[in-house]
């Protein structure tokens, strides 16, 4: 059997508030395999972003283990293998949208055909016409699509998306999800996506429901 992209065992995260320890994520064990499409749902403060940050390798667990067996040699995965579109605005305001999308390639020393690849990634989300605009000149929903383009440009095996359609109306949200689905079909990458929107989570193959940091993992569909 192929190695999983992510393997977590009793993964947990608590934050210290003065003398009090607040559980953001109760111990959870899971695997993420190629082609998985997981919707993370749960009320505000239930731990969705906490879990995504741990899977991204951007945060350390307070206890438990996480490993990325199929994602390269390093103990912590590199940007080539995991793409992330964050919940908060994360585009660099002084770079154009196109330059923002090119940035991961520059960091990976693949700048040569970066402008062409950036346009392709923007095109995949229907926002190629924004390449020369600054992030401050585009709408919140357009910025989210640019951030998705930036997240996929390195061809990651795992895409993490935190409320990627949170600022889109239902029609634009559906078209963004269609674009995302096309990209996943083409590449075979896995997706872990946090959302408050049942129509978005309904398109995932599995749902992980969070409540006060407790994750209930329920595979709903087999195909
Ligand atoms: N840096 C931090 N310091 C202290 N507590 C934090 C920190 N980040 C998150 N928390 C707490 O951890 C819990 C989970 O937060 P998290 O951001 O993961 O929730 P969420 O499900 O993503 O919420 P939302 O839907 O509003 O984005 C919350 O109680 C939050 O207050
Ligand atoms: Mg969040």
For 2-36, the pLDDT digits (tens) are 899 999 999 999 999 999 999 999 999 999 999 99
Which of 47, 52, 84, 164 has the most ligand 1 atoms within 8 A of CB, as the residue to mutate?
47
Predicted confidence (pLDDT) per residue in 48-100, tens digit: 999 999 999 999 999 999 999 888 766 666 667 899 998 888 999 999 999 99
Confidence of residue 125 (pLDDT cuts 50, 70, 90): very high
Buried b (16+ CB within 10 A) or exposed e, 51-64: bbbbbbbebebbeb
- At 152-163, the pLDDT tens digits run 999 999 999 999
| pLDDT value of position 137 | 96
Residue nearest to atom 13 of ligand 1 (CA): 24
Pocket flag, ligand 1, residue 15 (CB < 6 Å): yes
Third-level CATH fold of 37-59+78-219: Rossmann fold (3.40.50)
Neighbours of ion ligand 2 (CB under 5 A): 48-49, 87
* Contact call for residues 30 and 217 (beta carbons, < 8 A): yes
Q: Alpha-carbon distance 53 to 195, whole Å? A: 15
**φ, ψ for residue 109 (rounded to 5)?**
65, 35
**What separation in Å is there between the alpha carbon of 26 and the centre of ligand 1?**
13
Radius of gyration in angstroms for the set of CA atoms belonging to the chain, rounded to a whole number: 17
Verify whether ligand 1 is closer than 6 Å to residue 46 (CB atom).
Answer: yes
Mean pLDDT of the chain: 91
Query: Which residues 6+ apart lie within 8 Å of 179 measured at CB?
Result: 124, 125, 126, 148
**Cβ of 47 below 6 Å from ligand 1:** yes
């Amino acid at each position: 059997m192929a190695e999983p992209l992510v393997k977590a065992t009793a993964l947990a995260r608590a934050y210290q508030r003065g003398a009090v320890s607040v559980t953001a994520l109760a111990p959870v064990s899971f695997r993420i395999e190629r082609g998985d499409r997981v919707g993370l749902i749960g009320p505000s403060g239930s731990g969705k972003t906490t879990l995504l940050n741990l899977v991204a390798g951007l945060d350390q667990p307070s206890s438990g283990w996480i490993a990325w067996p199929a994602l390269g040699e390093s103990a912590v995965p590199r940007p080539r293998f995991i793409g992330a579109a964050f919940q908060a605005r994360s585009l660099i305001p002084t770079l154009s949208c196109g330059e923002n999308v090119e940035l991961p390639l520059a960091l990976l020393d693949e700048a040569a055909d970066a402008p062409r690849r950036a346009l392709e990634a923007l095109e995949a989300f229907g926002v190629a016409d924004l390449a020369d605009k600054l992030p401050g000149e585009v709408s919140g929903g357009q910025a989210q699509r640019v951030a998705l383009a930036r997240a996929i440009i390195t061809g990651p095996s795992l895409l993490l998306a935190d409320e990627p359609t949170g600022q889109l109306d239902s029609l634009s949200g559906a078209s963004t999800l269609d674009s995302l689905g096309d990209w996943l079909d083409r590449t075979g990458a896995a997706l872990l996506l946090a959302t408050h929107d049942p129509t978005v989570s309904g398109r995932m193959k599995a749902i992980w429901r969070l409540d006060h940091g407790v994750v209930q993992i329920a595979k709903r569909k087999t195909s």
